[in-house]
Amino acid sequence: MTKQFNTFFEENYIRNLQFDSFETDVTVLSSNSYKLVSKTYNKIVVLSKISFSIKYTTKDFINDLRQYRKVELHENILKLIGIIKQSIHGIMLIHEYANEGTLSQYLDQNFCMLNWNDKLNLAKQLVSSIKCLHENDIVHLNLNPKNIFVHKGNLKLSEFGAFKYRTKILNKFKSIQYTDPQYLENHETYRLNKSSDIYSIGVLLWEISSGVVPFKSELSYDFNLLNTIIRGEREGAIPGTPKKYVKIYTECWRYSSNLRPTIQHVFKELNNIHYNYKEIITESIKDNEYKEMPISKMKCSNSTSLLKHFIDLRYELIKELKIISSIITTLNKASTSSNFRSNELGSEEGKIIADALCKITTLTSLDLYDNKLGSEGGKALADALRKNSTLTSLNLGYNNLESEGGKALAYALRKNTTLTFLNLRENRLGPEGGKALAVSLCKNSTLTSLNIENNKLGSEGGKNNLGSEGGKALADALCKNSTLTTLNLSSNELGSDVIKALADALCNNTTLTSLDLESNNLGSEGGKTLADALCNNTSLTSLNLRFNNLGLSGGYAIVDVLCKNTTLKNLDLRDNNLRGGYALLEALCENTMLKTLNLEGGETLINSICKNVTLTSLDLCSNGLGSEGGKALAGALCKISTLTSLDLYNNNLGSLGVEALADALCKNTTLISLNLGSNNIEFKGGKALADALCKNSTLISLNIQQNNLGSKGGKVLAYALCENSTLKDLNLTGNKLGLEGGIALAHALLKNSTLTSLNLYNNDLGSKGGKALAQVLCKNSTLTSLDLGRNELGSFGGKALADALSKNSTMKELHLCRNNLGSEGEKALADALCKNSTLTFLDIGYNYLVSEEGKALADVLYKNTTLTSLHLNNNNLGSEGGKTLADALCKNSTITSLNLHFNNLGSEGGKALADSLCKNSTLISLNLSWNNLGSEGGKALADALCKNYMLTSLDLGRNNLGSKGGKILANALCKNFILTCLNLENNELGSEGGKSLADALYNNSTLTFLNLNSNKLGSEGGKAFADALCKNTTLRYLDLRLNNLDFKIKSINPSIKIIQ
């Protein structure tokens, strides 16, 4: 927070409270407000979040608070209690709690018990509060019953509602009936003013008299409602309403702002009303103006200008919905593409977007992937698609549309004539949804790409998958459809009947160019069936068959196709246990179309690709190619002119194979990335590569880790670095370079001006080698990442590097783990970090630091302003070191990731860190595994999770939390809405702890990763998780191994991966 910010709070006696001054029991009122108990004041309060941005700065916030200070003593204005400073990006306001909710809620629940004296009292309090604002030159701008509260029968106006209005958080679209009609008609030039508040008061006075939302029957947020309000239509008076009261609100809601009364006039007239039951009844019988009149259904005007005003206004209003602001910003710029991805939009938001689609005439691409639209949202969008004539691309993946939503969208495809791309992956479409889509594909003539991945088109059918009938129907549709070019059916457990039907379709279809069948367990027979189809198909260019267990016979069948097929360009056969390398070799020699081939996991050599002129990327890692295979590939590199990336990791090429490849590198002018790790190339191979680097002018990345180059190999490579001017990334991990090799590389870094990343992990450099490299860092200005882990640098090397960090201005990432730096080396590094202003990542794990060194590092956290990631794992800091670091975290504002694995922190260290989590506002990842925290440490951290609003990843593995700790953490998960990743492996949680955590999954909607490996959950705990997974829709990974479950857990959520 700025100095101006702090000074303002101090001068105005606004208290700055901490999260630990509140009880942990939190009730979420909305996405930005929470109800909880203040220990300081011993009463219920509300926390409201205010976010800062370019449009609403801290300066604007201070000005708003100054305005509030002028009116805060009024009895009908909600009281500000204090603030909680979170970060430069936002703040939490603490204000009094209204026990009867909003005015809308109060009228809905209590209207039948209110007499006219009660209604008049509410109206007078409302007008009195606005009179106070206006007399202090404050305009509220956003009066509606959702930011007016009632506490013990008395009205409380929230001035904070105006704050929300200005930060663009408020969903004003749902309060259109309270908005000045002159602004509705021309929002670009008309400025909201005091008279706008008067109009809102008029509508609110009518609502107090009726107890219902104005224009309730018209609230479909369409053109009719806007037209109705702008043209002057208003709600009719309710029988029994005092005549003078009606006169007041009808004057207030006049169209022209010049004809509306002042707040002083309204206040005076309202206070002159004295309720007389007999007089009102008499008047209401005699006077027809009091009869309740229904709002007429107005037809849409043909006025082009008014329709434009409506569309422009809609854009402006939707823009104030924070969760979908990005799409409106682009729409206002006449953009054609908008993105709502992963915004937790529900069915209601889906309906609003659907309604907009009926009016917007520029949008061509809409991304709604990973939301919660459900079948209702899906149906609304389907209706919109029947009317929309511009949208060409729609992404609805992972929205739980189910069969009803799927059927509605399928029906829309029969009517829509513009959509070309549709993504429906992971939506539980069911057999009916699948068949409906198939029928539509037979009639649709525009769709070219359809993704129905992971909808379980399995042969068994059932509630949550398309079944064999749906799969066959889709296959039959392909025989009739003449426009679809891309179809994704991966992860659908297709049975042999469906595969046969698809193969038959491929023989007849002439338009499909891309087919994804990954993870369908096709087996060798399925592979053969598809292979036969490919012999006849002349359109398919891309085919993904990864993870299908094709086996040797299936592999040979596919290979045979490559010799005959002349159209396939991209083929993925990874993880299929092919064992058909020589046949593939022959096929590649004959095939002249294939550009990309991925065979990770294949066994033998593809020893000639000379005749293939299209491949750009080749992955042959772990294939046992040997030196002969290396030579063969080298020959190909001299002739092929398209390959840019080659992965030959772990192939036992030896020095002879690499010598041949190095010779090819001298001639090759296209390769930019080469991986030769773990190939036993030794000095001879290293020398050959070094010679090649002096001549090659295209290679950017080279990995030669674990190749036993030795100090001689290091020297020749160092010489090459002096000559080479293109290499940026060099990995020399585990090559036994020794002191001599290290010194040679250090000298090379003085001359080289292109290398940015160098990995020298585990090379026996020693303290002198470390010092030589450190001296270079004082002068080198290009290296940004250096890994010197496991090199026995000792305190001498550590101090040398510390000195270098004080002078270097480019290094951002430094790895020094397993170097026995000692207390002197570590303290020197700590001192250097207090001065360094560029380093963002530091790993000093496994350096046997103790609590004293922990204090020095804590000092770093106080002073350093750039470090974001710090690894201190395996250092035995102890509880005292943990406490010291915890104190520093309370004040640090840059660290986002902290690794304290295996530091013997104990329960006391855990408690201290838990306390820091309540105050720190930047840490998002914390590893506390193997620290013997116990149930007490676990309890403290659980309490912290209820208060912390930043941490997304927490590792508490192997901490002996026990069932008690598990239960407490489960309770925290019900309240925390930020954490996405939690590791609790090996904590003796037992069945009780497991059941509690399973129950938490019913309420938690953010956790995506949960590791419960080795926790003795037993069958009861397992059953609890099986039940929870029927309701939870957010978890993506669950590890339940070694828990004695005795049965296999399944989930209806197709996206979750369960390890058991």
574, pLDDT greater than 80: no
CA distances from 790 to 295, 743, 770, 853, 978 (A): 79, 17, 11, 20, 36
**pLDDT value of position 88:** 56
- Determine contact, residues 698/726, Cβ cutoff 8 Å: yes
Q: Where is mean pLDDT largest: 531-535, 579-583, 589-593? A: 531-535
By DSSP bridging, strand 15-16 and strand 90-96 are unpaired
Place 497 in a pLDDT band, splitting at 50, 70 and 90: confident
Task: Express each pLDDT in 231-284 by its tens digit.
Answer: 888 888 888 889 999 999 999 999 999 999 999 999 999 999 876 544 443 443
d(C-alpha 1034, C-alpha 1005), whole Å: 6
Domain 103-290 belongs to what topology? Answer: Transferase(Phosphotransferase); domain 1 (1.10.510)
For strands 1037-1039 and 542-544, give the pairing. Answer: unpaired
User: What whole-number distance in Å separates Cα of residue 1054 and Cα of residue 1033?
Assistant: 9
- 681 pLDDT exceeds 90? yes
> What pLDDT does residue 474 have?
85
How far is the C-alpha of 131 from the C-alpha of 265, rounded, in Å?
10
Q: Is the pLDDT of residue 313 over 70?
A: no
In sequence order, the 6+-apart residues with CB closer than 8 A to the CB of 356 are 314, 318
- Distance in angstroms (rounded) separating the CA atoms of residues 794 and 527: 58
For the ranges 227-231, 956-960, 967-971, the lowest mean pLDDT is seen at 227-231
Tens digit of each residue's pLDDT (9 = 90 or more) over 68-127: 878 887 889 888 888 887 655 668 888 888 889 899 999 988 887 888 888 999 999 999
Distance in angstroms (rounded) separating the CA atoms of residues 586 and 612: 11
pLDDT band at 312 (very low <50, low <70, confident <90, very high): very low
Say what angle helices 551-564 and 523-536 make with each other, to 10 degrees: 10
Residue 314 has pLDDT above 60, yes or no: no
Residue 953 in 3-state DSSP? strand
Give the pLDDT confidence score for residue 466 in this predicted structure.
54
pLDDT at 91: 80
Mean pLDDT of the 330-343 span: 60
Question: 244 near 269, Cβ under 8 Å?
Answer: yes
- Pick the closest to residue 378 from 338, 357, 347 (CA basis): 347
Domain ranges of the chain: 3-96, 103-290, 961-1060
Q: Looking at residue 190, what is its pLDDT?
A: 86
Residue 812 pLDDT grade (very low, low, confident, very high; cuts 50, 70, 90): very high
**Chain segment 425-456, per-residue pLDDT in tens:** 988 887 788 888 989 999 899 999 999 988 76
pLDDT at 771: 93
Predicted TM-score of the model (pTM)? 0.57
Decide if 3-96 and 961-1060 have a common fold: no
The mean of the pLDDT values for the chain is 82
Between CA 771 and CA 774, with CA 773 as vertex, the angle to 5 degrees is 60
Res 563: pLDDT: 66
Mean pLDDT of 705-727: 95
Is 948 within 8 Å of 921 (Cβ atoms)?
Answer: no
Residue 327 has pLDDT above 70, yes or no: no
**Which fold is adopted by the domain 3-96?**
Phosphorylase Kinase; domain 1 (3.30.200)
Q: pLDDT tens digits for 391-405? A: 999 999 989 898 899
Q: What is the pLDDT of residue 250?
A: 95
Q: Tell me, what's the pLDDT at 860? A: 85
Distance CA 1015, CA 272 (A): 73
Determine the pLDDT at residue 232: 85
Q: How far apart (Å, rounded) are the C-alpha atoms in residues 941 and 546?
A: 43
Distance CA 254, CA 249 (A): 9
Best CA proximity match to 122, nearest among 43, 201, 49: 201
pLDDT category at 219 given cuts 50, 70, 90 is low
What pLDDT is stored for residue 173 in this prediction?
A: 42
pLDDT of the residue at 361: 78
- In the prediction, which pLDDT does 223 show? 58
How far apart are alpha carbons 490 and 960 in whole angstroms?
A: 41
Residue 757: closest CA among 718, 728, 778, 725? 728
User: pLDDT tens, 537-571?
Assistant: 889 988 888 888 887 677 667 767 776 777 887 78
Architecture of domain 961-1060: Alpha-Beta Horseshoe (3.80)
Distances (CA, A) of 158 to 47, 95, 133, 834: 13, 9, 11, 46
CA distance between the termini of the chain: 48
> For residue 695, which amino acid is it?
K
3-class state of residue 29 by DSSP: strand
Q: Is the pLDDT confidence value at 193 over 80?
A: yes
Rounded to 5, what percent of the chain is helix, strand, coil? 45, 10, 40
Q: What is the mean pLDDT of residues 758-783?
A: 94
Encoded amino acid at 975, one letter = K
Least confident among 293-297, 476-480, 896-900: 293-297
Lowest mean pLDDT across 153-157, 259-263, 619-623, 704-708: 619-623
**Residue, of 471 and 412, whose pLDDT is higher:** 412
Q: How much is the pLDDT for 1056? A: 87
Distance CA 1036, CA 1054 (A): 9
pLDDT classification of 1009: cutoffs 50, 70, 90: very high
Q: Name the 3-class secondary structure at 1026.
A: helix
Which one is predicted more confidently, 870 or 51?
Answer: 870
Q: Give the tokens for residue 431.
A: 């057999």
Q: What is the mean pLDDT of residues 1031-1045?
A: 90
- What's the pLDDT at 167? 38
Q: What confidence score (pLDDT) does residue 315 get?
A: 44
pLDDT at residue 941 tops 90: yes
Residue 630 · residue 604 · CB < 8 Å:
no
